[in-house]
Every structure is written in structure tokens, then in C-alpha cells.
């Protein structure tokens, strides 16, 4: 199998007439410059590596355009989120997730790390299949062709030392040990996707339980945690434990190269040093952090300390990897009043390579990585005149023409390869949910 690209962005450099050789597993085996197209090649124009969505809550998509009429803050928004979560069934969530994953795919996200914490019936009773929701998400991803890393999430308390609220009961497994047993069942059943894990937050998991996860979770599983998204979270952690959330994780042995801290908006200098020394990475979600009024995190300081920075769509109020890229750079410009805080190559790495790494995958347009590619229209009203390495700073989802996963075209011109329209899928799924 081979893909021919008129132009490709390889390690930050524009390459003309690029042949991408791909094996039967969908992995890139060779990159040949100055090639000529062959008859059986999939022919593309301007090509970038596929985008790795390192943080998503698919069901939050149901809140888009419905939470802006009464102002409020993150905590007000959370009440609306609980109401949606209460209505989900495995069947309705499969249809909603299928639609959301389809929307992701046609915009240029080729993989997604789904931070999954809706596990049980509304009263907390497990379904006959205790991983019915996880299985539904896996089927949804397979249906549309996006790569999925399912981050099954531990969620035990509503705040430090406090039991789950009634609206949170379906998130919890009672104990960390019970969660881990269910996690192993999920991992054993996985065939076409990657299984990772998540600690919801310091609010939702106590230090002893965090230490249990760090000790007993298999070493190869990526581990994600919401950290310091809101100042109130830091205040709760300091009041309960005398330490910041990052320090709690470090003391529990949960900071390591497999750990990815989501948001990390309100960090101290000590927190940044702990993260850098541990080899952990960061996932920032600029459109969500702006939408919820979270604040702007210290992305440049983290990157300068050697911390990998990835990007995610989080609540999916916006599904557009190119806007997340611009949000990362725009936030830095607003904080510093300087342009070019991240170079085009750094931004491309955050969008592709690091996003995949956060999901436990290899990414980027390079040998040994999956042949996951995005073709952009370089001559639209938004992109014309832009250099290839800066397309991500001017393009939007509407400029994505074709999407390739594993060497095969899975989406083109806003539709899935089989002709399904994500807008129609979303309309039907949301109608059913409401």
C-alpha cells in the first residue's frame, strides 16, 4: 500500500513528491522524497500527520450551545453536565459517541483518548455487563474508523472525604480495588483499541487510592488525571492534604512518564518542577478552558522545563484540532504580549506526535508510526498563501478534504468514507437523548 502526497510536512520540513510506503498493519515503513505517483497509489495534495485528541468527554457534546444563557462558572456548567449524564444508556451513548467521533474524524482528529467515567446505572448499580458503556464507546469508534484509547476512570468521592453526590453515583465503583477488577475485565476484552486509565481528580480520589492505582495498574497503561483546572480544586487539596494536587500525585507515586495531567492551569513553580522531573506530560484543552473560564495555563514554562504538551477537545464545545493549536499559541500571546511563543514545529508536534503519545500510541509523519494523515486544502479563502508548516495556524475544520487512518481514506469533504454525514448522526443522537 502506498500514499503519494504532492507536499508533506515531515519533521517540520516541507517535502515535495512524497511517497509513503505502508505495510498491511497500516504502519509507515518508508518515506521517499522526489517520488512519482504510481497507478495504485492513494493520491493526496498537502498532507500533515493526523491529529491526536488527547482528552475528550464525548457526552459533553450534548451541552454545546445550551449553557451560555445564564452566565455562571465551571460549577454551574457542571450541573448541566450531570443532567445529561443521568439520561445516558449504553445504547444512546453509543449513538452519541459514534456521531461525536465522526465529527472528530472529518475535522482531522485521527485518534482520541476518551476520558470515560459514566460506568453504571443512575443509582450506581452495575449493568449485567459492568463495562457496557466502555463496550459501547469501543463499538462507536470502530464504526467510524477513529483510533480509540479508552481511559477508564476511577471516581470515588465528590470532594476530599465526602461521598459521591446522588448525580455522581453512576461514576463510582465503591473502592479502588473494585474499579481495578473491572478495569482488568475491560482490558481483557479489548481487541481493536487501547485501554488506558484515569484518576478523575484529587477531588474524586484520595491519596491512598491514588497510591493503590500507581502501584497496581499495569506499567504499560497510560494514566491521565485532571489537575488544577480551577483554583477551588487547589484550595480543596490544600485544605484537606496541605499540598497542591500535583504534590499529592507526586507523593503517591503517580507521577511518571506514563502520566498525563489534563488542564494544569493553576500550577506553582514547585508543581512545574515536579512534573518535569517525573517525565509526566500535560494535556491542554484551549477551547474548553476558554469556554469554562478556567484561565490560561503555563504552557511555555512547562515546555521550557522539558514537559511534553498535547492538545484535547475535552467538552467538545468545539471539535476542531486547528482551533486548539491556535488556542494554545493565542493564550500564550495574551499572557506574554509576545508572538511566536511556540514555533510552528512545536505546535505541530503538540497536535500530532505528543497527542498520540498521550494516548499510548506512536504518532507523526515518520517511519514506524501509523499511517494516519490529514489532507488540507491549501487554496481556500483561509489558507491560500500560507506556508505548509503554518497551515495549522490558519486552517479550520472546513479546510480538511481527506482523512487517512492506517493508510486508508476514512473521511472526505466532511463525510465519512461510507457517505454518512456527522451532522445527521449528531441530530438523530441528540434528539434521542433529549
Residues with a known catalytic role: 263, 314
How many CA within 13 A on the CB side of residue 112? Answer: 33
List the beta bridge partners of residue 13.
Answer: 10
Sheet architecture: strand order including 147-154: 51-56, 109-116, 147-154, 194-199, 223-227, 259-263, 281-284, 309-311
What is the DSSP code (8-state) at residue 27? B
Cα separation, 130 vs 138, in Å, equals 14
Cα separation, 28 vs 368, in Å, equals 5
Cα separation, 94 vs 111, in Å, equals 17
Find, among 148, 98, 158, the residue nearest to 429 by Cα: 98
C-alpha cell at 218: 499495569
CA angle (321 as vertex; 384, 10 as ends), nearest 5: 65
Cα separation, 46 vs 34, in Å, equals 15
Beta strand segments in 166-271, E: 194-199, 223-227, 259-263
What is the DSSP code (8-state) at residue 168? G
Cα separation, 373 vs 391, in Å, equals 14
228 three-class SS: coil
SS3 for 116-164 is ECCCCCCCCCCCCCCCHHHHHHHHHHHHHCCEEEEEEEECCCCECCECC
Report CA dihedral (57, 61, 62, 63) to the nearest 10 degrees.
100
Find, among 92, 62, 99, the residue nearest to 80 by Cα: 62
C-alpha cell at 281: 506530560
C-alpha cell at 136: 459501547
Residues 273/304, Cβ–Cβ less than 8 Å = no
* Cβ contacts of 342 within 8 Å, gap of 6 or more: 299, 300, 303, 328, 329, 332, 350
Amino acid at each position: 500500500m502506498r500514499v503519494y502526497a504532492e507536499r508533506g510536512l515531515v519533521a517540520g520540513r516541507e517535502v515535495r513528491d512524497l511517497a509513503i510506503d505502508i505495510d498491511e498493519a497500516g504502519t509507515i515503513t518508508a518515506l521517499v522524497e522526489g517520488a512519482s505517483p504510481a497507478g495504485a497509489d492513494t493520491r493526496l495534495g498537502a498532507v500533515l500527520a493526523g491529529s491526536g485528541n488527547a482528552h475528550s468527554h464525548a457526552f459533553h457534546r450534548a451541552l454545546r450551545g445550551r449553557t451560555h444563557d445564564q452566565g455562571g462558572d465551571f460549577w454551574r456548567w457542571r450541573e448541566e453536565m450531570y443532567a445529561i449524564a443521568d439520561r445516558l444508556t449504553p445504547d444512546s451513548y453509543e449513538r452519541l459517541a459514534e456521531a461525536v467521533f465522526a465529527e472528530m474524524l472529518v475535522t482531522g482528529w485521527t485518534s482520541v483518548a476518551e476520558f470515560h467515567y459514566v460506568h453504571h446505572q443512575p443509582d450506581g448499580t452495575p449493568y449485567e455487563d459492568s463495562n457496557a458503556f466502555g463496550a459501547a464507546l469501543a463499538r462507536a469508534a470502530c464504526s467510524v474508523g477513529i483510533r480509540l484509547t479508552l481511559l477508564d476512570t476511577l471516581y470515588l468521592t465528590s470532594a476530599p472525604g465526602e461521598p459521591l453526590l446522588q448525580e455522581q453515583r453512576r461514576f463510582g465503583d465503591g473502592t479502588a480495588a473494585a474499579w481495578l477488577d473491572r478495569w482488568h475485565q475491560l482490558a481483557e476484552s479489548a481487541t481493536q483499541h487501547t485501554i488506558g486509565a484515569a484518576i478523575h481528580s484529587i477531588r474524586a480520589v484520595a491519596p491512598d487510592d491514588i497510591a493503590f492505582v500507581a502501584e497496581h495498574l499495569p506499567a504499560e497503561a497510560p494514566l491521565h488525571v485532571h489537575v488544577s483546572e480551577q483554583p477551588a480544586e487547589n484550595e480543596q487539596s490544600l485544605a484537606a492534604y496541605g499540598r497542591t494536587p500535583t504534590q499529592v500525585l507526586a507523593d503517591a507515586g503517580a507521577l511518571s512518564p506514563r502520566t498525563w495531567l489534563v488542564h494544569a492551569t493553576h500550577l506553582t513553580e514547585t508543581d512545574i518542577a515536579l512534573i518535569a522531573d517525573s517525565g509526566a506530560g500535560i494535556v491542554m484543552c484551549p477551547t474548553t478552558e476558554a469556554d469554562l473560564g478556567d484561565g490560561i495555563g503555563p504552557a511555555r514554562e512547562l515546555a521550557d522545563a522539558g514537559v511534553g504538551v498535547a492538545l484535547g477537545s475535552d467538552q467538545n464545545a468545539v471539535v476542531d484540532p486547528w482551533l486548539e493549536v491556535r488556542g494554545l499559541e493565542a493564550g500564550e500571546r495574551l499572557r506574554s504580549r509576545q508572538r511566536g511563543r511556540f514555533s510552528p514545529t512545536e505546535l505541530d508536534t503538540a497536535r500530532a506526535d505528543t497527542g498520540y503519545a498521550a494516548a499510548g500510541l506512536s504518532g507523526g509523519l515518520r517511519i514506524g508510526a501509523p499511517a494516519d494523515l490529514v489532507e488540507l486544502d491549501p487554496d481556500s479563502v483561509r489558507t491560500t498563501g500560507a506556508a505548509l508548516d503554518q497551515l495549522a495556524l490558519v486552517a479550520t475544520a472546513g479546510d480538511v478534504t481527506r482523512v487517512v487512518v492506517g493508510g486508508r481514506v476514512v473521511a472526505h469533504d466532511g463525510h465519512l468514507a461510507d457517505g454518512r454525514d456527522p451532522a445527521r448522526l449528531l441530530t438523530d443522537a441528540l434528539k434521542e437523548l433529549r
